Amino acid sequence: HSQFLQHLLICFSRNKHLDKVHVVLGNKTCDLDSLISALTYAYYLEKVSPPNILCLPVLNIPRREFCYCTETRFILEELNLPESLHIFCDEINLYQLNNEGKLSLTLVNSSALTSEDKNLESAVVRVINPEERCDGNLETSASSSSLVAKEILQEAPELITRQLAHLLRGSILSLAMDPEQITRDQEEVLSKLEEKFPELLPREDIITALQEVHLHADGLRIEEAMLKDLKEVSDGEIKVAVSTVYMNLEVRRKRLVMGLFSFAHGVVCCIA
């Protein structure tokens, strides 16, 4: 998969006058499920699309904010997929491509564009969103990785390599650390990947490694943690930012209060 990303990066840098570009865009949180889904689906599209269409996975954050995605960064480094191989949203002019009629857009792990990207709606040709497939049950541990893997296994199973199976399987298991959380669709996909590549590590080993990564990735400053899990809610006129921070209040109360004060002060200054 690293060779695929290197190939895309070369094509993107050399072709300043692209004919058609099909961008696969994840969500703003840039979590592992979103990123692996975008990489995998772009790989699939590149193999089945006409040669005049460049299919690109684009991380939906500026490159400078990738430092907040500690778990995702750590896992990609472990898989030899360094940051330098990825294209970020601030490195490609999607608006210009859309205005020129060259852009097709597939959204993964998100059913809608953010308010600042609304002008790109005309380019959206596909939405792969697990929330639309869980029958209204918010307790369901859905993942876009399982939807992407299921489609490729049905349409072009020969494209699933061992590394790709490893990526997809790890992404699915990262959202379902407890075996009871694995949905029927996810179990079907996991079983097919394991049947195709029986030499893959046991699920228990993958889950243990993911848990260790979570502990290893801890330690962000308050400002970084709040930006990492920042989510936007908007009615078109008013925009509200909501962040989630997990920590032991008894141990880190002073640090939390000071960090929140610093973060809020910075936001007020930016608005002013």
pLDDT of residue 238: 75
Name the percent of the chain lying above pLDDT 70.
72
DSSP H helical ranges for the chain: 2-14, 32-48, 70-78, 94-99, 144-155, 162-174, 184-196, 203-216, 222-228, 249-271
Name every residue whose Cβ is closer than 8 Å to that of residue 257 and which is 6 or more positions away in sequence: none
pLDDT per position as a tens digit, 143-175? 899 999 999 999 999 999 998 999 899 899 888
- Measure the CA dihedral 150/152/158/164, to 10°: -80
Cβ–Cβ under 8 Å, residues 106 and 128:
yes
Q: What is the pLDDT of residues 187-206, one digit of tens each?
A: 999 999 999 999 998 988 88
Residue range 1-200 in CATH 3.40.50.1220: no
Out of 21-35, 36-50, 157-171, 229-243, pick the least confident.
Answer: 229-243
pTM attached to this predicted model: 0.76
Examine the pLDDT at 222 and tell me if it is beyond 90.
Answer: no
Judged on CB neighbours under 10 Å (0-12, 13-18, 19+), 127 is: middle
pLDDT, position 159 = 94
* pLDDT higher than 80, residue 29: yes
Report pLDDT for 230. 64
Domain boundaries, the chain: 1-200, 207-269
